[in-house]
Amino acid sequence: MITRIILSLGFLMAISAQAQDAPDPGKESLMDEGVFVIGGRTARAEEFSIFKRPDGGYTLLSTITADDDSYTAIGTWNYDAQWRGLSVNGQSTVKGVKRKIDVKRETSPEGPIVRMTRRTTPADGANERLETFTAQCDMDCLIDMSPGAMPMAVLPRRFDTAKGGEQAFMWVGVSLTDDQVLLGGTTTLWLNRMQKVDGDAVSHWRFREDLPGPNGQTIQMSTHLWTDTKGNLRKFGVGRTPKPSTIGIRETDEKRSDQMPAE
């Protein structure tokens, strides 16, 4: 059992001050908060809070710390009342290298797009680099910012249960910890099965990510998500095959992980 300290709302607000629409604790209602313990190649802890705003939309705050203290990353995601992405802000420090990211929606003659800006400052402060990327992104697309895991938990909230079956979404993103950027991905989501965890109903979701790779190739990833009846994420698994290589589990669910197998 790894013991983590939940960040206070005040501290989360302070470190997320770069976001224009950071929650006001006097006006926002807290929906969920907790800590995810994440294994794999880059073991880390992700502390998060989700708020509902007075306008009916939602704000997600996330703070990620690598187990080896090689980096810290914080992010703010803003959604409308249908959980459609509106804007993203983030900042990180990786071995002295600082990055700041700002993602906003815009309109263009070709349709809705996102403009992603990333400012990278080397440890010595010299040769700061500013990058700007644009990508097609309809209102249903997932706006990602790695290494944050919580944004993918929004996908089941976007699922049309009346329609059912497999449902596809556009996917764009940018990284806070390296130079990666995703400009044209897609993800396909479906409900795999319902199950019980200590008597509580849990939905096991699957989704497949198709990412543009080198030389026109497509890289495919496989993800498992487990959510409770409120739509809150309990566990996730990600890998190049249906058997995940990276597992994230809510700290309070660590003893229940075996009840949520990736199958």
Closest alpha carbon to 92 in 181, 42, 18, 149: 18
- In degrees, rounded to 5, the angle at the alpha carbon of residue 166 between the alpha carbons of residues 160 and 171 is 85
Alpha carbon distance 30, 53 (integer Å): 9
Place of tokens 């190649």: 41
Mean pLDDT of 195-216: 91
Q: Are 47 and 7 in contact (CB under 8 A)?
A: yes
* pLDDT reported for residue 254: 95
Tell how far CA 188 is from the center of its chain.
16
Read out DSSP for 93-111? Answer: EETTEEEEEEEEEEEETTE
Read out DSSP for 47-75? Answer: EEEEEE-TTS-EEEEEEEEETTSSEEEEE
* pLDDT reported for residue 51: 97
Q: Which two tokens stand for residue 155?
A: 């996908």
Alpha carbon distance 243, 223 (integer Å): 9
* pLDDT reported for residue 22: 56
> Considering the chain, what is the average pLDDT of its residues?
89
Alpha carbon distance 89, 103 (integer Å): 6
pLDDT confidence of 26, banded at 50, 70, 90? low
Alpha carbon distance 91, 177 (integer Å): 9
Mean pLDDT of 217-225: 91
pLDDT over threshold 80, residue 242: no
Q: Is 143 helix (H, G, I), strand (E, B) or coil?
A: strand
Alpha carbon distance 224, 206 (integer Å): 5
Mean pLDDT of 232-257: 92
pLDDT over threshold 50, residue 48: yes
Q: What is the pLDDT of residues 97-129, one digit of tens each?
A: 999 999 999 999 989 999 999 999 999 988 999
Give the start-to-end residue ranges of the domains of the chain.
Answer: 29-238
pTM as predicted: 0.88
Q: Are 167 and 191 in contact (CB under 8 A)?
A: no
* pLDDT reported for residue 238: 93
Mean pLDDT of 84-94: 97
pLDDT confidence of 1, banded at 50, 70, 90? very low
Alpha carbon distance 245, 38 (integer Å): 11
Q: Are 210 and 187 in contact (CB under 8 A)?
A: yes
Mean pLDDT of 61-84: 97
Q: Are 219 and 136 in contact (CB under 8 A)?
A: no
* pLDDT reported for residue 115: 97
Q: Are 207 and 223 in contact (CB under 8 A)?
A: yes
* pLDDT reported for residue 28: 85
pLDDT over threshold 90, residue 179: yes
Residue 53 neighbours by CB under 8 Å, 6+ apart: 21, 23, 27, 28, 59
pLDDT confidence of 246, banded at 50, 70, 90? very high
